[in-house]
Structure 1
Amino acid sequence: MNKQDLIDAVAASTGETKASTAAAIDAIFETVLRTVSHGDIVQLIGFGSFSTGARAERSGRNPSTGEAITILAAKTVKFTAGKAFKDAVNA
């Protein structure tokens, strides 16, 4: 399912127009993105939690030359599935 499929499904389920549904979904995505990028956690009970994590600097190898390189530290995005989500997937 892509974003347009999601918009179509939600619009059909709620009876709203596709334009208003798209605006609502865009607003939700933007709010989650903005909140998580500021270091806060977005927790949707039953669905899951979005948060950030930290990856430390580490050493690696260039696969084409075999040369040792340093991979810089970076922030990562984490999603932890909620119980209801896990149960729905495993049912």
Structure 2
Amino acid sequence: MTTTNEIADKIAADQNLTKAQAKAIVESVFKQITDAAKAGAETSIPSFGKFKVKATPEREGRNPATGVAMKIAASNKLAFAPAKALKDTLNG
């Protein structure tokens, strides 16, 4: 697993920045994606992929412990669709 700090450390080394500057940039990117998702907007990063909000309707489910039927509330989920370039890199 890669953490935010590890990503920031790599950016700091690659771009000759301090770790604090790089971490602020990484956190800002994630905040921008989050803010766009809250607004219902799609975020597209060329050659990486798209983040978009998908609405899931209310549905019937079962409690796995008791088997009792229950309603699962409608919710929004953040979905990621990788770009073709990323898929090719992973499978090439």
TM-score of the alignment, normalized to the shorter chain, above 0.5: yes
Correspondence for 2:25:
24
Unaligned ranges ≥5, structure 2: none
Unaligned ranges ≥5, structure 1: none
TM-align CA RMSD: 0.9
Correspondence for 1:35:
36
Distance 1:57 1:41 in 2: 23
TM norm structure 2: 0.93
Q: State the identity as a percent.
A: 33
Letter in 1 for 2:34: L
Give the SS at the match of 2:17: coil
Distance 1:3 1:22 in 2: 7
Correspondence for 2:15:
14
Correspondence for 1:80:
81
Distance 1:59 1:16 in 2: 51
Letter in 1 for 2:27: D
Distance 1:68 1:22 in 2: 45
Count of aligned positions? 91
TM norm structure 1: 0.94
Correspondence for 1:65:
66
Letter in 1 for 2:47: G
Distance 2:10 2:54 in 1: 32
- 1:25-81: CA deviations, max 9, x gaps? 111111110011110000011100001001111111111111111111111111000
Letter in 1 for 2:70: I
Give the SS at the match of 1:65: coil
